[in-house]
Structure 1
């Protein structure tokens, strides 16, 4: 309804505007006036008079263009009038000859031309309006002859060269002067209608002929300039001045006559109002004369005041007329507004009447439709609710499937770990080496690696979907990196006689890449290349530098290629080409593209006689965020690397060999997978005392036995490995124990959560047994360094020290309790354990683990340190000190003191 009303209203307003425009503009007579210039008062008066006349004629649309005394500008103005197809053109020419052609062009276009003031060459114009300039020249000559009483010498100052008024006035003037022998023109100055063109030449003539009687100037301005020049030589009273124009303005001819500057001035009427009247007659095709002459008169002292009064009255009348015209325009505007308002109100009345009828009909119709819409709305609401419920169910189902899919992929890693670890053991077994069985074992190892890569691809796909990947780029020599990856495929290339080569001119070229992610990209591209390249084929990797600060890495093969119409779908997940009859997950290339995009690079595919994948990466690190860059010194092996984690690496344990100690270190394995527990126990029992927990009683067992090191899984039945690690690290009894986490979760969040739980090492499945052994040995070695620190600084531990964390707090508290009770002979180890809120056995094991000695020896060391302080103070004798510190006898005290400090108490006291 509202839209209907709006459309009607807009249509009505548009029609009103259109009708108004037609009324205002449709019957207008377009008159174009090309004015030569407006630098002088005469032409300004002309413009005013033609505008006043136009204001009296509402049917006239007058346009005035000022050529600014430039002939080319005037030609362009007239050309514009012709192009706009005006009805009549009025021209006041600057010069005659240059404007002839354009005036003739207008006549040919059917537009009549009225020439005013000045003529053009020839007679090819519609009409001329202006004073008779030849007659004006003659009038000036006759006036001088009739009023001359002196020498009869005359100077003539003409207008601009090429101007028809200047030529004609001079012609008429000379005709009369030549007939009278008493008069002589002693000099002619060719001015340009302006004052400055007169002064210099007139001064020269007056210096040569000071007895000049008359100066005739073609306009008032040049006459005034001549009078000013004569005045500089004292001749203004002697010479009489006659001019043309007779303007009633400041410094106009009439004012100059009244002020005795000029002897007289010849009225040259502007004819502005007559010009417009004549132009309208031309438009209406009324009969007119070719030449229309304006009347003129000589203004001198006899009639100057009368003519001035008449012109003033004319100006006043013109002012009144202009005021009345403005009032009329206001009234017309008000009338037009009221007329439109009446029309609009009438239209609205019609609309209201129509809408009243329509509303009665609509009320009945709407009530019916309302009921229908209510029923439809209820149905839509119910269906929308059902859709939302179905969407929630689908979302939960999808999330459950993804979680199952991810969890299952994680579960695959534990059996793969067992398979690969046992296979590694078999490969290293001397009995198998050199037999035919070794090839089968290596084949198992190879396919286990392949299965692991597929599982990792599935997990990477889920992480890509959840946007959990973070770039960890480091500065890498791309040639060495590429060559390192190629070693994994050279055996396959050799077996199938495939020409597998790397082309790179600059082997020291460096790029910032995430080695782990780019390694996966390489493996995907090379695996596809070997899969689809036939035997005796060719696979080439090319690395080239470009001038746009990029590096292109090309993987080209001579395989079956990909159909051209399918190239755009290659990087879509789960896509398989129509010519691909091999097993494929369809996510490898999708992951490769995502990993390249993480590097802010691009990957594209060309397929002509095989396939060519081109990776383009930016040089330098300016395109990376600071958080995406890591330094070489950082450990890049937090997550397993498919290239290095499964090589036959045997670490050197010569410096960290803890199994050679007399007492084996105790190891607690917290794992609910029986096969993995059996494997670890079999591989580590020769070096460590193994204790087992499935996780349900892990904390209780750790508290009871206080092991030297703990290996813990994440996914356990009762508590996960993070919770167990956090509780053990918070408890004073077990906070010192190093913990290694074994898990299939390798994402950044899982690693960070593990470190926040206080774990000391994070290894992902499948892990290398060699790396696990190395990690255990390294942690125990670090624990030995910590023990050395505490042993040598046991009495200088400061609360603000950052070394040792909970161990530092424990030792500080324990030392404070011992020092407070150092002179209490009844203070025992049981008392110390009670004050520390732990059992005697736990206290013994913790102190032994941290500082390497039993608690009794530690208490004695504290007492002996106190004894040394007392001996220095020299306030007590040796026996008093021995008994005050709880030693059974002075002799036992002396023996213990000498064992610790190397000298007897007596010698120590005398030396201090």
Structure 2
């Protein structure tokens, strides 16, 4: 492969940068030249050639060049080689001044450093859902990230092993994973996700070039939410992601509303609703006891602490500690509105040992201080 770079001055006195990349390979047939920049297009090559690509690289290259106001051309002869030429035009002063080094953003599109993502205490600042992309092909991974970053925060991993570690530290809302990867493939990664209490609730979409029904069935039997074969329509993938995230959000809202409006509902049919009712009953029973812990709640529910966490998190979107606190805060609202108790007395009544902590968490939960909430007339209580 040969790379050359030169500059010229055009008629508008602008500097033109010309980059040429050439090889002495098998070349491209004339009737395929117009299609090589299409996504997923692949020219027929001998089976003896390894690393044949996925048909994404040239499409991405052309988009980059266009973003910089340039264009790219190709000149090729079969069995002789191919030459790509990139033309970029910019003001002369831009050449004379120092050119800043490009910033690599191969991990997160939200401008977050990799070290921050590896920190288990890391918290996403944006309200966009977080997607984890696990794909060993860099071009294809970039293609997915570039098209999804408008709607979601994107985390990346090059294989299942790396992806698993980042899933544990980042806690994404959904995982999109390739099937065929080194270190750990997508099937094994999906099994690992569904077998772990911390991640079992996460939806997984598997992507693969394998098209037989048996292979798709293996993927779905691991617990994957959906399965797509390459090449695919990106809009369909985006629609599947949105639907899965909406279903997940709807499930959480259902049980969050149950906590707020029906904490002691008695006529319940489903197993999950019965579990929530029993959970609320035990918290209600110990409402004013600030020393009531998750360990005691686990014992009252005849479950281990791990088992309780695994059950409560996917149903409510909260950990057991957060669920207990939310329940206490919800019970404080009618006391603030309708009783003659002080804020400190209300805090103690619903199990907070420190009124300042009560005020802090109340504001986080309802976006106002309890002192302001207590001034609202009962018939004007916000929904």
TM-score by length of 2: 0.49
**Structure with the higher fraction of residues in helix conformation:** 1
- Report the structure number with the largest CA radius of gyration: 1
Higher RCO (CA < 8 A, seq sep 6+): 2
TM-score by length of 1: 0.24
